[in-house]
Structure 1
Amino acid sequence: MSVQKKLSLHEDWVVVILGGLIVLLSVAGLLLAVPSFGWENAEELTSKVLSSKNLQIIGIQFLFVGIIAALGAVLTGRSLLGTLKTFPIVYILTIIALILTGNSQVKALNLEAVIFSLAIGLLIGNFLKLPVWFKEALSTELFVKIGLVLLGTGVIFSDILKAGGLGLMQALIVVLSVWYFAFWLCKKMKIDSELTMMISSAVSICGVSAAIATSGAIKGDSKKLSYVISMVLITAIPMMIFMPYIAHYFNFPQQVTGAWLGGSIDTTGAVVASGSLVGEEALKISTIVKFSQNVLLGIAAFAISVYWTYTNHLAGQDKAEKPTLKVIWERFPKFVIGFVGASLLFSFFLSSETIVEVKGSLKNLQGLWFALAFTSIGLETNFKDLFGKNSKRPLYAFLIAQGFNMIITLIIAFLLFG
C-alpha cells in the first residue's frame, strides 16, 4: 500500500502521460488495426464482425488499452487488482455496444456508440446489485480524459485560437450569470450552504470536475458531493441525446449548436458525445467551449475558497482551504495541457503524410476510450439516488438552474457564434 502511495500522481497528469504515450507510440509506427463493426444482417454479423480475424484485432486492441488502463491505476495509486478485474468486463460490454451501433438500421438513426454503452451500463448498474469494490475500481474520468487528449490530434491549433477567444467570452458570461442564478435559487429554496455551492458550480462550470473542486475548496461532505455528481450524470443523459435533435429541428448552425452544447452540458464526455451527433464542426466548437469553461475552474475554486473562508460558513471552524494562488494551479484541469499539446504536435510538427497514416488508428482509440468511459458511467450511476426523501429540493433547484443555463447559453451562442 505504501508503494502505491509513493507512485500516486494527480489523475490529470497521468492522463497527459498516458495520452502522450499513445500518440508517440502511434507516430513511432505502433498502429493498431481498426476493428470492423458494420453489419446489416446475421450473416454479415457472423462473417465480418465475429470472424476470427476481426476478433483477433479486437483482442490485440484489448491488450493495448488494458495495459494503458493498468498503468493508469498504478500511477494514480488505485487498486491494480481492481482494475484487472473490472476492465475486461467494461471492455466486453463496450464491444457489445459497438457491435449494436454497427448495425445499418441503427446507423440510419444516427445513434452513437456512447449512447449504447451508456444504456448497457445503466441497465446492469440499476437492475443488478454490483459490489462496492467494483464501482470503486471503475476509472471513468481517466478514460474520458485520455479520449480528450487524443481528440486534440484532430483539432487544428488555429481553430482553438480562433474559437477560444469567443469560447472564453461565452464561458465568462455563462459561468457568472448561471452561477449567481443557481446560488440565488438554492438560497430561496433553503438548501444548505454546502449543497448550494456544489450545485451552483456544477451547473455553471463543468459538472463533475467543478463539484469535486468546490467540495475540495470548502471541505464539503462526501455524501453531498456524491449526490450532486449523480444529478449531473443523470441529467446529462437526456441533454446529451435530445439537444442535438432540438438543434437539428430548428436548423441551428453547427457552430451555434456546438457552442450551446459545450456551454450547457455539464460533463465533458457528454459534450463530446453530443457534439459528435451533430457533426465535425459542432464537435470541435463544443469541445473548445467546454475547455474554455474548464480553464475557469481554478479561478472559480480560488474565489469559492475566499468566499467560504471569510464568510465563516463552517460555524467558526476554519476547515476550508486557505485561499492562495497555489489553489488556482491545483484546481486547473491539467488534461487540457495534453489536449493542446497534441493539437500543437499535429498542427505544426508532423508532416501531412504522417498525420494521414496515424489518423485512423488514433480516431478509433479516441472513440473507444469515450465508449469505455460511458459504459463505466452507466455502471456507477444509480437512479435511486435521485428519489430519496431528502433529495427533492436540491433536484428541483438543479433542474431549474439547468433550464436557465440552457436558455442563457443558447442566446449567447447565437450572439457570439451565429
Structure 2
Amino acid sequence: MLKKIKLTEDWASVVVGIALIIAVVATSFFPELPKFGPKTGWTGWTVLSAEVFTTGNTLRLGMTFLYFLFFALAGTWMMGKRGKELITAFPVVFILSMLAQLIASSGSMKNLGLETVLFSLLIGLFISNVLSTPAWLKAGIQSEFYIKIGLVMLGTTILFSEIMKAGLFGVLQAVIVVVSVWYFAFWIARKLKVDEELGIMLASAVSICGVSAAIATAGAIKGDSKKLSYVISLVLVVAIPMMIFMPLIARWIGLSDEVTGAWLGGSIDTTGAVVAGGTIAGDTALKFSTIIKFSQNVLLGVAAFLISIFWTYRQAEKNGTDEKPTLGVIWERFPKFVLGFIAASLVFSFMIDGETAVNAGKTIKSYQSLWFNLAFVCIGLETRFKDLVTLDKGRPLYAFLIAQGFNIIITLIVAYILFGIFW
C-alpha cells in the first residue's frame, strides 16, 4: 500500500496555483466571477438591482464559491489536514470577502482608489475586535495558504515584454530604487529599535511593490501574520494621500509626463494607487507609471530568494552559531511558492502567445485577487486591533513614514536623471 504524500503548505500552494492557471489556459473548466457593477462603480440601488443582485449573478456567485472551496479542500487534503473545520469556516470567509468586494466596487470607493483587500482586512478586524471571532471559525482559517496561492498566480501578470517597453532606464530605475530604499528602510527600522522580522517586512513593502512584497517577505522569513497585517494596513492607508498629492506636486514643479509617471510608479506602493495617480497626471504619465511599477514587481521573486538567504544567515548569527548555514538549510527555509511565481512568470512571458497571455491573465488576475481577499479576511479575524495600535509604541509607524519619505525623494531624483535628462 502506497504511503500517503503529505506536502508542506508552500508546495501545496504551488500545486493548487498551477492547477488553477492550467484550468484557465488549457480548459474551459472555470467559472465566471460574480459582477459588482460597472467599471466606474455602482452608485445606487438601481445599478445594484440591475447588475449585481440578479439571478445570473447569484449563479456565478454559487459556482465561484464551490470552485474555490474545491481547491481549498484539495490543498488541505494534500497537506494531510482535516477538511471539516475548513468546510465550516470557508462559507463565512467567502461571504465576507464578497461583502468587501461590493463595498470596494462602489463609485465613491473607486474614486478614492481604495482596494478590496483593505475592506477585507477591516471587516475581519471589526469582527475580531468588536464581535469576537468564534473558536470554530478560527479553526478553519488558512490565511497564509490563500496568500501563497495568490502569489503563485500573481506571476502570470509579471510579463518581461511589458518590462522591456521602458527599456534599460525602466529596469535601471527599479534596481536602484529597490536596493537603496530597502537598505535605508531596514537601517532606519533597526535604528528605531523595530524588531528585525517586522523591519524586513517594512523594508520590502516600501521598496519593492507594497502588499505583494510584504506577503512574499513574510513567507520567506515565516513572519508573524499580525505584523504582516500591520504593514499592509500602513501600505494601503499611506498610498491614498500619495496618489492624490504627488501628481499635483509634479504639475506644480513642472515635471514632464515621463518623469511624473516614473516617479509615481517607483514610489507609490500599490498598483491600484499607481494607476489612480497616473490617471490624474495624464495618459503618458499613466503609461510610464504602470511600466515602472511592473519593473519593480518583477524583482519580487529575486528579492524573496535573497531575503530568505539573508534571514537564514541572520538567524544563525543571532543564535551565536559561527557555522554558516548549508545549502540544505537555505533550501529548507526558501519559500517554495516563489518557484511557482517565477515559473508562472516565465511561462507567460516566453512560452504562451501574447493574446492568450493577456486574455487568460485577466481571469487569473481576478482569481488571484479573490485569494488575497480571502486571506485578508482571515488575517483580520485573527488580529486584535489593540495589538496593531500599540505595536512597539508607534516605532514601526515612524520607521515606515521616514522610509517612505526617503523613497519619494530618491525615486524623484533617479526618475528625473533617467527620464528627464537622458530619455
TM-score exceeds 0.5: yes
Aligned to 2:187: 180
Structure 2 matches for 1:290-329, cutoff 5 A?
292=299, 295-310=302-317, 313-314=318-319, 323-329=325-331
SS at 2:299 equivalent:
helix
Aligned to 1:401: 399
Q: Distance in 2 between the 1:17 and 1:67 partners?
A: 13
1:134 alignment partner AA:
L
Q: CA deviation at 1:289?
A: 2.4
Aligned to 1:411: 409
Aligned to 2:196: 197
1:17 alignment partner AA:
V
2:49 matches 1:46: yes
Q: CA deviation at 1:300?
A: 4.0
Instruction: Normalising by structure 1, report the TM-score.
Output: 0.76
Structure 2 matches for 1:80-91, cutoff 5 A?
80-91=83-94
2:34 alignment partner AA:
P
Query: 1:141 is matched with which residue: 141, 144, 148?
Result: 144
Query: 2:77 is matched with which residue: 71, 74, 77?
Result: 74
Aligned pair count reads: 381
SS at 1:255 equivalent:
helix
Decide whether aligned partners of structure 1 residues 97 and 212 sit closer, same or farther in structure 2, where only a CA change above 3 A counts: closer
The percent of aligned pairs where both chains have the same amino acid is 30
Decide whether aligned partners of structure 1 residues 208 and 115 sit closer, same or farther in structure 2, where only a CA change above 3 A counts: closer
Q: CA deviation at 1:27?
A: 1.6
Q: Distance in 1 between the 2:111 and 2:27 partners?
A: 35
Q: CA deviation at 1:54?
A: 1.2
Q: Does structure 1 conserve the Cα–Cα contact (< 8 Å) formed by 2:31 and 2:64? A: yes
Q: CA deviation at 1:323?
A: 1.9
Q: Does structure 2 conserve the Cα–Cα contact (< 8 Å) formed by 1:23 and 1:150? A: yes
2:199 alignment partner AA:
S
SS at 1:16 equivalent:
helix
**Deviation string, structure 1 residues 335-390 (Cα, Å, up to 9, x no partner):** 333333333333333334534653443333233223223322332232111456xx
Q: Distance in 2 between the 1:397 and 1:237 partners?
A: 18
Q: CA deviation at 1:158?
A: 2.6
Aligned to 1:380: 382
Q: Does structure 1 conserve the Cα–Cα contact (< 8 Å) formed by 2:153 and 2:344? A: yes
Gaps of 5+ in 2: 205-212, 251-258, 279-285, 417-423
Deviates most, 376-385 or 137-146: 137-146
Aligned to 1:338: 340
Q: Distance in 2 between the 1:66 and 1:363 partners?
A: 18
SS at 1:130 equivalent:
coil
SS at 2:268 equivalent:
helix
Aligned-CA RMSD value: 3.4
Decide whether aligned partners of structure 1 residues 232 and 154 sit closer, same or farther in structure 2, where only a CA change above 3 A counts: closer
Decide whether aligned partners of structure 1 residues 49 and 303 sit closer, same or farther in structure 2, where only a CA change above 3 A counts: closer
Aligned to 1:361: 363
Aligned to 1:266: none
SS at 2:114 equivalent:
coil
Q: Distance in 1 between the 2:49 and 2:81 partners?
A: 38
Structure 2 matches for 1:243-322, cutoff 5 A?
243-251=242-250, 253-262=260-269, 271-272=270-271, 274-275=273-274, 277-278=276-277, 282=289, 285-286=292-293, 288-289=295-296, 292=299, 295-310=302-317, 313-314=318-319
Decide whether aligned partners of structure 1 residues 103 and 400 sit closer, same or farther in structure 2, where only a CA change above 3 A counts: closer
Q: CA deviation at 1:89?
A: 0.9
Structure 2 matches for 1:6-155, cutoff 5 A?
6-11=5-10, 13-30=11-28, 31-38=30-37, 39-132=42-135, 134-135=137-138, 137-155=140-158
Q: CA deviation at 1:114?
A: 2.8
Q: Does structure 1 conserve the Cα–Cα contact (< 8 Å) formed by 2:103 and 2:119? A: yes
Decide whether aligned partners of structure 1 residues 158 and 349 sit closer, same or farther in structure 2, where only a CA change above 3 A counts: same
SS at 1:7 equivalent:
coil
Decide whether aligned partners of structure 1 residues 277 and 405 sit closer, same or farther in structure 2, where only a CA change above 3 A counts: same
Decide whether aligned partners of structure 1 residues 40 and 68 sit closer, same or farther in structure 2, where only a CA change above 3 A counts: same
Decide whether aligned partners of structure 1 residues 203 and 96 sit closer, same or farther in structure 2, where only a CA change above 3 A counts: closer
Q: Does structure 2 conserve the Cα–Cα contact (< 8 Å) formed by 1:139 and 1:373? A: yes
Q: Distance in 2 between the 1:253 and 1:78 partners?
A: 50
Aligned to 1:219: none
Q: CA deviation at 1:212?
A: 6.3
2:241 matches 1:238: no
Q: Distance in 1 between the 2:79 and 2:272 partners?
A: 26
Q: Distance in 2 between the 1:259 and 1:69 partners?
A: 35
Q: Does structure 2 conserve the Cα–Cα contact (< 8 Å) formed by 1:150 and 1:366? A: yes
Q: Does structure 2 conserve the Cα–Cα contact (< 8 Å) formed by 1:259 and 1:285? A: yes
Q: Does structure 2 conserve the Cα–Cα contact (< 8 Å) formed by 1:301 and 1:328? A: yes
Decide whether aligned partners of structure 1 residues 239 and 142 sit closer, same or farther in structure 2, where only a CA change above 3 A counts: farther
Q: Does structure 2 conserve the Cα–Cα contact (< 8 Å) formed by 1:298 and 1:328? A: no
Q: Does structure 2 conserve the Cα–Cα contact (< 8 Å) formed by 1:298 and 1:327? A: no
1:369 alignment partner AA:
W
Q: Distance in 2 between the 1:374 and 1:382 partners?
A: 14
SS at 2:128 equivalent:
helix
Decide whether aligned partners of structure 1 residues 89 and 328 sit closer, same or farther in structure 2, where only a CA change above 3 A counts: same
SS at 1:137 equivalent:
coil
Q: Does structure 2 conserve the Cα–Cα contact (< 8 Å) formed by 1:168 and 1:289? A: yes
2:35 alignment partner AA:
S
Q: Does structure 2 conserve the Cα–Cα contact (< 8 Å) formed by 1:139 and 1:376? A: yes
Q: Distance in 2 between the 1:141 and 1:283 partners?
A: 28
